[in-house]
Structure 1
Amino acid sequence: MATIYVYMYPLLFSILVSFFFINSLAPVEPSILFSFEKFDTSLLKFDSKIGVYCDAMLDVEELSIKMTNAKKFSGGIVTYQQPIKIMEEKNPKRKGSFRTHFSFSMSPEKNEFGIMFVMSLLKGLPNALTRDFIGVKINIRHDDTQLFGNSDAANHVGLYASTPPWAKFANAADANLVLDSGERLQLWLDYEAISKRVEVRVAQWGKKRPVAPSLWLSVNLSKMFNTQDVFLTLASITGNSTQVCKLYSWSFELTT
C-alpha cells in the first residue's frame, strides 16, 4: 500500500497543477452589477439601490425618472448608491473592463448641459469632477457649428477623462439622430481594459447596438481606478433652457 501512495502523490500533484493552470486561462464571466429596465415605486424604499436627488423624481405612469422640470436652472441627480470596484485584489483575472447602458429622452429645446454619465472616485456632482473620472455628456449646443462646420452639429456627444485631461466630441447627426426630438434614445459606454479604450455608441430605442462607435478615447481606467471604490452618477440640468430630460433604464456590468 505504501508503494501505491508514493506513486499517487505525484499524480495527484500533476492533476491539481493542470486544474489550476487551465482555470487561470478560463475567461472571466460577465458580472451584472445592476439592471433597471424600468423605474417603479421600489425607488421610494429606504434601502433602494438607486438614489434620486434635487429635482429628479419618479414618474409612476411612465415608469421613468423625470430628471429635470420645465423651468430654468432645474437639476436632477441619479446615483447608484453603493460604490463598485472594476478590479479586485482577490480576483486577478478581473481586468477592469465594463459596460454601462442607459436610455433617455430630451425634449425639443437646445440645452448645453443636457444629460451626463460620470464614473468617479467621489460620489455625486460636482464633487465627482474634482477627482479622477470618466464621463460622457449628451447635449444640444448653440456654438457647435464652429466646432463641426455645419448647422446640424448641435447634436453633441462628448467624452471626457480627467487623467490625462481629454475631451472628444461627435456629431449625433452623423448617425441620423436628433437628440432633442423627445424620442427615447439609448447610449452604451464600453471600456476594454486590454486595449485601454473607451467607446460610446448612441442609437434610437429598440435598435441594435451599433457596430462602430460614435466616438472613442484611449485611457487607462484600470490604472486610474485600480481597486478603489468607484461611484456611478447620472445628472441633468436645464441651465437657461426649460428642457425636460427623462431616464427610462440603466444597467452596468463588468465584462472582463
Structure 2
Amino acid sequence: MAFLVVSRYSPLFAILFVASLAGLHCESPGKSPAFSFRFERFEKNRSLDAVIALYGDAEISDFVVGITRPAVFSSGRVVYRKPVRFLGRNPSFSTYFAFSVSSPDGGEGLAFFLAPSSSPVKESTNGLHFGLPPGATAVKFETRTEPETGSHIRVEVGGEISKQSSNLSNVSLVLHGGEKVHSWVDYDGDSKRFEVRLSKSSDSRPLSPLVSYPIDLSRVLQREEKLVGISSSSGNSTQTSSVYSWSFAVKRGAPYSMHSEPLDPRPFVVRARESPPIHLRRTYPWGVFVAMVFAAACGGLLTFFVMFVWFALIARRPVAPVEYPVHPVEVGYQQIELVAGEKGVDSTKK
C-alpha cells in the first residue's frame, strides 16, 4: 500500500519539492539592501550615540559633525559602530555624504573609508594621514593646492594608491574653500567597477563620474567585517572639516543604478524636525506582499512534506490478521433407530 501511495504522489511531490528548493535561492525583485543606514543630520541623543562613534577631535554641534578643530595636527573620525559584513559572491556598496573643508593655509582633506573591524580606530594619527586607520580602503578628497595636482580625488586599497583623479579645478570644484560638496561613492560587484562623483550643493548627482575604473574588491570586502567611517586631519594647518549628512548601503547586486538619472541631493539637506529619523530602511509595499506570499508558499510546502512523510510511514506498517484462540469442543450424540410397524413409528434409543 505504501508503494502505491508513493507511486501515486511522487510526480507531484517531486515538482513541489524542486520548486521549494528553487524558491529558497531566489530573491524577490525589489528586495531591500542587505544593510543600510541614513542620517539626514546629526543630533546629540542616546539613539545617535548607540550607532555612531566619534573619535579624536570629532564632535557634534548644530546637527553637524565637526571632524577637525581649527588647530594644527587635529584629526578625528566618525564611525558607524556596527561592523558591516559583505555577503554574496559579488558584494556591492553605495555611499553618499555632504561635507565641507575649510583650509586657508593648506591641510590634507577628508576621506571615506572601509577598515577591518580589528583596526584600532580609536587610536590617534597625530593629525596626519587623513586620520585613516591602518589597512583601510579609502577615497581621499585631498585639498592640497600644489600647481601640479591641486585638489584631487585619490582611491587607496590597503594603503596603496589604486587610482587618482585629475585636478578638480578643471571641473570648477574647489574642496578647500569651505563650500558644501556632495559626494557619491559606488562599487558595483557585478561589473567590478568603482566610481566617485562630486557636485556642488546646488547640483544634482552627475551622470559622469570623476573617477571610474575597473577593480575587483570582492576579496578585500569579504576578508573581514568592515567598519565604515569618515575621517579627516589638518596636518600642519588649521583646516576644519565637517559632515552634514551621510547614507550607506550594502547590496548583493549592483548599487542603485550607476548610470541612471542623477539623484537630487536636496532630500539630504538639514530639515527642521524635532525627531529626525536616524536608522531608516527603504520599504516597498508590494515587496512586503511578495514576501508574505513567498512565506505562505514555503509554509504550505513544509506542511505538505510533513504530512506526506507521516502518511507514508503509517502506510508502511504491516497489517496482520487477528488470531483468536481455538478451544476443542466435545460434542455428544445418541443413535436413534426408527422402526416402522403397524402401529406407527417406534423409536428406540440406544
Task: State TM-score, norm by structure 2.
Answer: 0.61
- Is the CA contact (8 Å cut-off) linking 1:117 and 1:235 kept in structure 2? yes
Query: Does residue 207 of structure 1 match 2:203?
Result: yes
Task: Supply the distance in 2 between the matched residues of 1:105 and 1:163 (Cα, whole angstroms).
Answer: 24
For the 8 Å contact 1:123–1:231, the answer to whether it is kept is no
Structure 1 position 164, deviation (Å) = 6.8
> Does 1:38 pair with 2:41?
yes
Do the aligned partners of 1:189 and 1:199 also contact (CA within 8 Å) in 2?
Answer: yes
| 1:45 to partner: Cα distance | 5.9
1:146 and 2:148 correspond: yes
Q: Does 2:58 align with 1:56?
A: yes
Amino acid corresponding to residue 50 of structure 2 in structure 1: S
**In the aligned structure 1, how far is the partner of 2:142 from the partner of 2:182?**
14
Compute the displacement of 1:225 (Å): 2.6
> 1:115 maps to which residue?
110
Structure number with greater Rg is 2
User: RMSD across aligned C-alpha pairs, in angstroms?
Assistant: 2.7
Name whichever structure is richer in strand by fraction.
1
Residues 107 and 239 in structure 2, CA contact (< 8 A), matched pair in contact too: no
Shift of 1:165: 5.1
Give 1:250 shift. Answer: 1.3
Range with bigger deviation, 242-251 or 102-111:
102-111
Q: Structure 2: how far apart are the matches of 1:219 and 1:129?
A: 22
Does 2:176 match 1:180?
yes
Asked whether the 8 Å contact 2:107–2:233 carries over to 1, the reply is no
Q: CA deviation at 1:19?
A: 4.7
Alignment correspondent of 1:86:
86
Q: Structure 2, unaligned stretches of length 5 or more? A: 126-130, 254-350
Instruction: Give yes or no for contact 1:135–1:161 (8 Å, CA) kept in 2.
Output: yes
Change in Cα spacing, 1:99 to 1:167, as seen in structure 2 (3 Å) is same
Residue 130 of structure 1, aligned match among 131, 134, 151: 134
Deviation at 1:138, TM superposition (A): 1.1
Q: 1:130 to 1:237 in 2, by over 3 A?
A: closer
Q: SS in structure 2 opposite 1:83?
A: coil
| Greater relative contact order structure (CA < 8 Å, 6+ sep) | 1
CA distance in 1, matches of 2:52, 2:242: 15
1:241 alignment partner in structure 2? 237
Q: Closer, same or farther in 2 for the Cα pair 1:80/1:46, shift >3 Å?
A: closer
Aligned-residue sequence identity (percent) comes to 28
Distance 1:110 1:217 in 2: 32
Q: Distance in 2 between matches of 1:204 and 1:163?
A: 28
1:123/1:233 contact within 8 Å kept: no
Residues 154 and 161 in structure 2, CA contact (< 8 A), matched pair in contact too:
no
1:228 and 1:162 map into 2 onto residues whose CA distance is 13
CA contact (8 A) 1:184 1:205 kept: yes
Shift of 1:64: 0.6
- The answer to whether structure 1 residue 251 and structure 2 residue 247 are counterparts is yes
Code of the residue aligned with 2:240 in structure 1: it is V
